[in-house]
């Protein structure tokens, strides 16, 4: 994908991220130089609707995107997140999910007709993306368990632990990128219940909050409460 002008908003370097994730440098360069456009995506506004064709590849340069699905009443469930350096691959037919920004984001968008031939021509790249698909599948399974089996406190704590790792933050401190409603939409709760969970976490001394900044005095205990085992993120 074409290089971004230096004067642009600071974001990750796609080539460096691909190499760090295991892609060979010359293949990362090919993808980085693929024709693409840069799009600013504002939070909490429609970006890609459910039921639309998804003949494009996206890579998050900065910010945070989510995939979501809505039920027949219009209630939304966030079903996946994409952090800087992560992407959304093309798919055949209509997508059964929408895409929206959690934070103001910058996204590189390329055409499937440019992306697919590159992947088809390089078996090593096919294996690389297959591993990424498997990682996303593992995250999806963990989210299913989180919503289906863990209690309210563990659901929120688990999301925060995962977010720490995917944002490459330290275990003792993080910036919470989500609103309480967004956490509710991820963990299958109401925003009122999420507010109670945060109050309980503070009352138990598991977190300290100042605005969106969260301190975690005892990371090991916090992970225990969350039932968080990070192996699925590797």
For the chain, how far is it from start to end, CA to CA, in angstroms? 25
Inside any domain, residue 135: no
C-alpha distances in Å from residue 151, one per residue of 23, 68, 209: 38, 22, 21
Predicted confidence band at 7 (pLDDT cuts at 50, 70, 90)? very low
Q: What is the CATH number of the domain that holds 20?
A: 2.60.120.10
220 in the same domain as 120: no
Helix, strand, coil shares of the chain, percent, nearest 5, are 45, 25, 30
163 in the same domain as 103: no
Provide the number of structural domains found in the chain. Answer: 2
Inside any domain, residue 159: yes
Cα(117)–Cα(114) distance, integer angstroms: 6
Cα(163)–Cα(220) distance, integer angstroms: 16
C-alpha distances in Å from residue 96, one per residue of 39, 43, 56, 87, 132: 22, 20, 15, 17, 20
69, 97 Cβ separation under 8 angstroms = yes
Listed residue (42, 59, 66) closest to 159, CA to CA: 66
Inside any domain, residue 42: yes
Model pLDDT, residue 11:
84
Inside any domain, residue 141: no
52-61 pLDDT, tens digit per residue, is 888 999 999 9
Inside any domain, residue 99: yes
How many Cβ atoms sit within 10 Å of the Cβ of residue 105? 24
28-50 pLDDT, tens digit per residue, is 999 999 999 999 999 988 899 99
Average of per-residue pLDDT values in the chain: 94
Inside any domain, residue 209: yes
Q: Which pair of structure tokens corresponds to residue 221?
A: 């205990």
43 in the same domain as 110: yes
Inside any domain, residue 8: no
73-116 pLDDT, tens digit per residue, is 989 999 999 999 999 999 888 999 999 999 999 999 999 999 99
19, 125 Cβ separation under 8 angstroms = no
Q: What is the CATH number of the domain that holds 154?
A: 1.10.10.10
H or E element at residue 105: strand 98-111
pTM: 0.92
CA atoms within 13 A on the CB side of 226: 25
Inside any domain, residue 56: yes
How many Cβ atoms sit within 10 Å of the Cβ of residue 123? 9
User: Which residue segment(s) compose the domain that 205 sits in?
Assistant: 150-233
Q: Which pair of structure tokens corresponds to residue 213?
A: 């900044």
Cα(175)–Cα(102) distance, integer angstroms: 13
């Amino acid at each position: 994908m074409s290089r971004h002008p230096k004067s642009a908003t600071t974001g990750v370097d796609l080539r460096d991220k691909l190499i760090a994730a295991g892609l060979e440098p010359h293949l990362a360069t090919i993808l980085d130089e693929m024709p693409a456009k840069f799009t600013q995506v504002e939070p909490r506004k429609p970006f890609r609707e459910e039921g639309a064709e998804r003949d494009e590849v996206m890579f998050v340069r900065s910010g945070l995107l989510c995939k979501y699905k809505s039920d027949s009443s219009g209630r939304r469930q966030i079903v996946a997140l994409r952090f800087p350096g992560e992407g959304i691959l093309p798919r055949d037919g209509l997508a059964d999910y929408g895409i929206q920004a959690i934070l103001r984001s910058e996204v590189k968008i390329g055409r499937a007709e440019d992306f697919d031939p590159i992947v088809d021509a390089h078996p090593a790249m096919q294996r690389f993306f297959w591993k990424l698909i498997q990682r996303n599948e593992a995250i999806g399974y963990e989210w299913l368990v989180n919503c289906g089996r863990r209690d309210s406190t563990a659901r929120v704590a688990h999301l925060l632990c995962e977010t720490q790792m995917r944002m490459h933050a330290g275990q003792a401190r993080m910036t919470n990128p989500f609103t309480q409603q967004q956490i509710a939409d991820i963990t299958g709760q109401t925003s009122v219940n999420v507010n109670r969970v945060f109050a309980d976490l503070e009352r138990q001394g598991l977190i300290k909050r100042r605005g969106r900044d969260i301190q975690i005095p005892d990371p090991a205990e916090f992970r225990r409460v969350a039932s968080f085992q990070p192996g699925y993120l590797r």
